[in-house]
Amino acid sequence: MSGKLKRGVHELKDIIIWGNHSLTQYPDVSISRLDNKALSEVVKDEKWLKGNFISDVAKRGAAIIAARKLSSAASAASAVCDHVHDWIIGTKEGEVVSMAVITDGKSYGVKSGLCFSMPVTCKNGQWTIK
């Protein structure tokens, strides 16, 4: 996404990844923003958003392994660090992040007790599903 838009990853806000790992994950840009504009308005390429973007996100781990000829563990470790940072320090006011949490059975129709990526905010060491 940042490559297509020629913008830094840190500038993209509220992209949610549903599901678990690899081919079972699904990127959702329905609430995403760039420069306080809906990402779908900025990208202006619905076909790409619903096609190659989703596929590229799902296959990202395999692409890292193919490019590096090594495990994608460093990428996963970096994501864990980002999760812990947001969980302990908190998310920025008004921002949502994707985080693997134990589902509550009430949110988004997802069965209770699953470890599943959900849109959350974090404050005072607590996460809340949005």
Please pick, among 10, 21, 83, 85, the residue that the annotation labels catalytic. Answer: 21
Contacts of 14 (CB under 8 A, 6+ apart): 31, 32, 33, 95, 96, 119
83 is catalytic: no
Least Cα distance to 41 among 30, 52, 27, 51 occurs for 30
Question: From start to end of 1-42, where are the E strands?
Answer: 12-13, 16-18, 26-28, 33-34, 37-38
Catalytic residue list: 21
